Amino acid sequence: MKIGLVGFGKAGKAVANVILQNEKHSLEWVLKSTTTTVSTAKDYLGIATNDPAIIVSLEEKSAADLFDENPVDLIIDFSSSDSIYDYGKEAATRKITIVSAISHYKENEHEFLLQLSNETVVFWSPNITLGVNYLLFASSLLKNIAPDVDIEISEEHFKAKAGVSGTAIKIAEALDVETESINSVRAGGIVGKHEVIFGFPYQTVRLVHESISREAFGSGALFVAENLQDKKVGFYKFEDILRPYFFSESQKEMS
C-alpha cells in the first residue's frame, strides 16, 4: 500500500519510523506546513529503505499537485485539526482513504470529515493505538454485561502534560462515568497509562493499557489501514474495525 503522511512532529516521526520499517507498505511522502532542509524522512530518521519518503511543504507545492505527481492509496494525518482543509477535498475527489489520528476536532471540522466520507473512506480516532481501543471496546462489552457495576478510571502521564487525558474522557463518556471523577497522576516521564476498574461484589476486574513509546501510534495506524482496504465509502471509527474480531459471523448477522 502506498501511504502519504501528514505531519512530522514527535508522533509523525514515530509513525514514519514504523511505516519505513514495514516491508508491506511504502511511505511515498510526508507533507509538512513549513519548509525543511531535509529532503526525505528516511534520511532524517536514518533508515535504509527503498521507500521514497520525500518531505514536501505546502509552501512549495499544493496538495492537488502532490497527489497527482506522487499518488497514494491512503493518507495518515498526525498534524493539526485544521490541516484537513488543506488536503481533504483533493484527497476525497481522488478516492484516497483518509485516516485521521487528530486528538480533537471542532464541530465544523468534524462536519467536514463527515462530508468527505460521502466521497471516500474516512476514519477518525482521537487515540489510534490498538491497545487503548481494545481496552475501550472490551470495557464497553463488560459494562453491557453488568450495567450496575462500580467503575473507576485512572490515567497517568508525564509531569508536564496539562489537563485530563482526552482518551480517559472518551473512556468515561463511553462507560457513562462522570469525567470529573477521573483520577489523574502526573509524574516523571510516564508516556501514558489508562486503567479501568470494575468493582463487582467479592471481585474486581482491571483493564490496563500502558504506552511504551509513540511508535504504538504507527502500528495502530497500519492496523487500521490494512483493515480499511475492503471498506465501502463512509465514515469509520475504531470500534467498526474491532467489532469483527469480537463477534462470530452468526453474531454479526444477528446484530
The answer for residues whose C-beta is within 8 angstroms of residue 236's C-beta and 6 or more apart is 121, 122, 123, 124, 228
Same domain, 27 and 102: yes
Cβ-based neighbour number of residue 52 at 10 Å: 15
Cα separation of the two ends of the chain: 32
pLDDT tens figures, 171-194 = 999 999 999 889 999 999 888 899
Between CA 86 and CA 107 the distance in angstroms is 17
pLDDT score of 250? 42
pLDDT score of 67? 97
The answer for residues whose C-beta is within 8 angstroms of residue 151's C-beta and 6 or more apart is 143, 175, 177, 196, 197, 198, 199
Note whether 46 and 21 are within 8 A (CB): no
Q: What is the pTM of this model?
A: 0.87
- Domain at 96, CATH number: 3.40.50.720
List the helix and strand counts (H, then E) for the chain: 10, 11
Place of cell 484537513: 84
Whether 231 is a known active-site residue: answer: no
Between CA 99 and CA 77 the distance in angstroms is 6
Same domain, 42 and 140: no
- Domain at 138, CATH number: 3.30.360.10
Among residues 61, 110, 161, 231, which one is catalytic?
161
pLDDT score of 2? 98
Q: How many domains does the chain have?
A: 2
Whether 161 is a known active-site residue: answer: yes
Positions of the chain with pLDDT lower than 50, given as ranges: 249-250, 252, 254-255
pLDDT score of 248? 56
Same domain, 27 and 95: yes
Among residues 25, 32, 42, 157, which one is catalytic?
157
Tell which residue, 2, 58, 22, has the closest CA to residue 220: 22
Same domain, 118 and 169: no
Same domain, 145 and 104: no
Burial code of 79-114, b = ≥16 C-beta within 10 A, e = fewer?
A: bebebbebbbbbbbeeebbbbbbbbebeeebbebbe
Instruction: List the domain range (segments joined by +) for residue 107.
Output: 2-124+215-246
DSSP class of residue 110? Answer: H
Note whether 55 and 61 are within 8 A (CB): no
